[in-house]
Amino acid sequence: MFPLFSAEQIRSAEKTLLDQQTSPDELMRLAAGHVAQIAREMLPAPGSEALQGVWDEGTQRAIVLLVGPGGNGGDSLYAGAELLKMGYRVQAYAVAAGRRVKESAKKAYDSAGGQWVEELPIGPEAALVIDGIAGLGSARALPEDVAEFLADARSFRVPVLAIDVPSGVNADTGETPADVTVHARGFEPADSLWAIQRVPAHVKATTTITFGGLRHAHALSAWCGKVVLVDLELPTEGQPAPLKLCDELWKVSDDIPRYFEPIAKIEVRGQQGSSGVPISTGLPFAAEPGPLDHKYTGGVVGICAGSEAYPGAGIFAAVAATRATSEAVRLFSPPHQVVHFTPEALLTAASLTDSLPPTPTSSSPHALVIGPGRGTGDVQARELQAALGSTLPLVLDADALTLLAEREELMQAVRSRKAFTLLTPHAGEFARIAPADIPDPGSDPMRATRALAKTLNCSVLLKGRSSVLASPSTVAIVNAGSSWAATPGSGDVLAGVLGAYVARATKAIKDTEEYFPALAEAKRTDRTPRGSAAQDASEFDAHIFAEHILAGLHVHAVAAKHAATATYPTFNGENLGIASAQSTGAPKDGAHTGSQARFPAELRSGEAPATALGIAYAVSSATAALTHSTN
């Protein structure tokens, strides 16, 4: 887990170090040294054959610096000076109007023999692009010539190193500007139709280097690529230890979102302060039942998902739930096909409306999942109304969200609930259930999700590659690390996993109350424990539910990655499917002909599209991988 910081918090912490500099641009030079080191690691050695020019083999391809007028531009110029000293060819292009750049950094670059260009090269002439255009406070669209150059470079797989945040990406929201239309260079008149292109108006980085702590965009935007986090340590006179940016961040920051990576993509270097070091998640992944446990003690989940018209949703949710934990899964009026996939599940033919006991028993559900593939008619509305009227924790997904959007009485029931409620919309569903005054989740997903959670007095999970989980008081982001879950039925799988984990949370809450009887008494009498900083004792429950939901999101993300991993055989070092010797009638040296002509030399793995059922079945292996990594 990483803390996330806003641009304002970063600037405030940086000011402390800037005020303690003992030489001009001292902090900028420190940052530039790290930029140059990362750039060096992304490149072949100077003078190597891999850097030979496309048109002139006697010329090295250049490192291209995109230089803005501010601090990031200064970082890139100082880094360019370091790379020139290493023996690389470097070209700088001033992006701002009037070719404005930081003069002190320009002087250092010029003194090292740096070259300036008036026109950007074509893509294949670049070995690496360093993005020093914009700082934290700017998310403006790139100039058309820069956007065209970057699109050209990307088509030739030229790597891009961004400083802080890729230019054009909003540091606080991850939002990007609209694409721009450019006239691509290098096309003959006869091919002019291909020259008019729509290209991104922001940088798509291969690697982003950032300092002190992660910005919001590092969690919300896929365009940062691999993120390398390093600290800036400023020596101070008369002090035994240097000033560290990561330490200063904690002094100026409050209300810090948490960021989780089930599949690690952040690389941390040399961090000794706490703002940059990944904190152990400690999430409550499903574990072996205790010696006195049985199928009902750990939290039974009830699932109202699927229908005869949409049986798949019920199957995906049920399979995922049965594999997520060891506890029982109870299915209410499921489609008949479900039993063939989950014979372990307990089937209840009657509807939830008719079979939900007024007071939960040991074998009745301790939490409910309502909505995937269920339908939006009157019967389903009554089912949802019964669930909302219960004291059970709820996970509301898909058709349940549609019913909330269509029926105000159901939405009002959500607002007035005291029991835990989790809504799990994707962006389209979010737009349908959110009032008009809620921010656009596409523009500011964290603020939008928290605002909806406050408005509806519940928890909200805005699903996506980077999912945002918000309660009225907290927010966390889970980056799945891949997009393989973008497949039909994957959301139903997630609903089943989350339902199982929310049911499991009820057992954790009960255990906590038994261990801390004063806390249990405070909850019963609705008073805050003496000396507690919590607003009320129910916040302890909300925290437990949130931790279990985060664990479920980790399981789903890793399961999607597992389901997209395929093993394939190779034959004599070749992929199966490549024409073999006997197909031409000429066996290779010593090879037998016939049905056993060639045997697999080895098995290799790669990635291929995942299916929802594959993700559901992979929940078990994902849990094993996550629990192993935390032991």
Backbone phi, psi, residue 152, to 5°: -65, -45
Find which of 152-161, 522-531, 580-589 is predicted with most confidence, using mean pLDDT: 152-161
175 domain-assigned: yes
In this structure, of 44-58, 289-303, 419-433, the range with the lowest mean pLDDT score is: 44-58
| Tokens found for residue 244 | 């560290």
- Model confidence band, residue 514 (pLDDT cutoffs 50, 70, 90): confident
Task: Please list, in sequence order, all residues whose beta carbon lies within 8 angstroms of the beta carbon of residue 488, skipping any fewer than 6 positions away.
Answer: 612
pLDDT single digits (tens) 187-202: 888 888 899 999 999 9
- 466 and 369 in one domain? yes
Q: pTM score, two decimals?
A: 0.90
- 167 and 316 in one domain? no
212 domain-assigned: yes
- 177 and 32 in one domain? yes
360 domain-assigned: yes
Q: What pLDDT does 97 receive?
A: 86
Query: Helix axis angle, 7-18 relative to 26-42, nearest 10°?
Result: 120
Mean pLDDT of 236-263: 85
Q: What pLDDT does 597 receive?
A: 47
Query: Is the pLDDT assigned to residue 277 strictly greater than 50?
Result: no
pLDDT single digits (tens) 385-407: 999 999 999 999 999 999 999 99
- Model confidence band, residue 527 (pLDDT cutoffs 50, 70, 90): low
| Tokens found for residue 290 | 């205790």
Mean pLDDT of 535-546: 79
- 466 and 337 in one domain? yes
Task: Give the residue among 419, 295, 287 at the shortest CA–CA distance from 363.
Answer: 295
Q: What pLDDT does 533 receive?
A: 43
Backbone phi, psi, residue 425, to 5°: -80, 150
627 domain-assigned: no
- 331 and 204 in one domain? no
- Model confidence band, residue 572 (pLDDT cutoffs 50, 70, 90): low
Count of the separate structural domains present in the chain: 2
Query: Is the pLDDT assigned to residue 318 strictly greater than 50?
Result: yes
Mean pLDDT of 536-544: 79
- 324 and 468 in one domain? yes
Residue 186: left if φ>0, alpha if ψ -120 to 50, beta else—which one?
A: left
pLDDT single digits (tens) 129-154: 999 999 787 789 999 999 999 999 99
133 domain-assigned: yes
Note every long-range contact of 481-486, with CB atoms under 8 Å and residues 24 or more positions apart, other chains counting.
Answer: 481/261, 481/262, 481/263, 481/264, 481/265, 481/557, 481/561, 482/263, 482/557, 482/560, 482/561, 482/564, 484/560, 484/561, 484/563, 484/564, 484/607, 484/609, 484/610, 485/556, 485/557, 485/560, 485/610, 485/615
Query: Is the pLDDT assigned to residue 561 strictly greater than 60?
Result: yes
Give the percent of the chain with pLDDT over 70: 90
- 467 and 382 in one domain? yes
- Residues making up the binding site for AMP: 463-467, 491
36: domain CATH number is 3.40.50.10260
pLDDT single digits (tens) 200-223: 999 999 999 999 999 999 999 999
- Residues making up the binding site for (6S)-NADPHX: 313, 373, 426, 492
The residue segments making up the domain with residue 145 are 27-42+62-232+263-269
151 domain-assigned: yes
- 480 and 355 in one domain? yes
Mean pLDDT of 319-347: 92
524: domain CATH number is 3.40.1190.20
- 444 and 523 in one domain? yes
- 344 and 222 in one domain? no
- Residues making up the binding site: 313, 373, 426, 463-467, 491-492
349 domain-assigned: yes
455 domain-assigned: yes
- 321 and 208 in one domain? no
- 305 and 218 in one domain? no
Average pLDDT along the chain = 89
